[in-house]
Amino acid sequence: MPLRDIVFLPDPVLRRKAHKVTVFDAEFQQLVDDMIETMRHAPGVGLAAPQVGVSQRLIVVEYPVNDDDENSPEKLYVLANPEITHASEEAVNGVEACLSVPGMAGEVMRHTEITVRGQNRRGQTTRIKASGWLARIFQHEIDHLDGVVFVDRASRIWKPTAEEAENIKD
């Protein structure tokens, strides 16, 4: 599975609304596999297809099942055509970074709980309830599918120190 090149701002693909996934063929499966490997290699906790130059509504997310436990196993999510169907009224500010905006961090307000509906890699409908950092990751990646980058939503943006950067999840 080849690694894909991650594109950076101001690449125009990051500013376009991505196209709906309608075909779940071998080429699509290869894209999914490539994105998973690219995300892991980066390393990151999420990746949207536009970040590898593909204007399709596809995200991959990998995050610990229990984010309070360092040794918790990670769960991989693959979602085509994801949409947030429910979002909590409660929202919190949190620090975000992005593989497509290297060397920058920002404070972004996000819902603390969301429900996401989409299709798995085989095209079957699936629903995910997420809270905390997992909810933040899904919101960040879904934004990419609409041409929105975290710096667009950030109340404050800065270049983190090396120590800060180690603790920020991309």
Is 66's pLDDT higher than 90? no
CATH fold for the domain made of 12-166: Peptide Deformylase (3.90.45)
State the average pLDDT over residues 63-79.
84
Is 163's pLDDT higher than 90? no
Cα(109)–Cα(154) distance, integer angstroms: 7
pLDDT at 164: 80
CB-based contacts of 29-35 (< 8 A; 24+ apart in sequence): 29/121, 30/1, 31/56, 31/58, 32/58, 32/60, 32/78, 32/121, 33/1, 34/1, 34/2, 34/3, 34/4, 35/4, 35/60
**Residue 122 burial (CB count, 10 A):** 11
pLDDT at 31: 98
State the average pLDDT over residues 116-124.
98
Q: Where are the domains of the chain?
A: 12-166
Catalytic status, residue 141: yes
Is 71's pLDDT higher than 90? no
What is the H or E stretch that residue 55 is in? none
Is 20's pLDDT higher than 90? yes
Cα(34)–Cα(143) distance, integer angstroms: 21
Mapped onto helix, strand or coil, the DSSP state of residue 93 is strand
Is 134's pLDDT higher than 80? yes
pLDDT at 72: 77
Catalytic residue among 62, 74, 89, 141: 141
State the average pLDDT over residues 118-136.
98
Residue-wise pLDDT tens digits, 29-64: 999 999 999 999 999 999 999 999 999 999 999 998
pLDDT at 33: 98
**Percent of the chain topping pLDDT 90:** 87
Cα(1)–Cα(107) distance, integer angstroms: 34
Residue 165: band (very low, low, confident or very high) from pLDDT cuts 50, 70, 90: confident
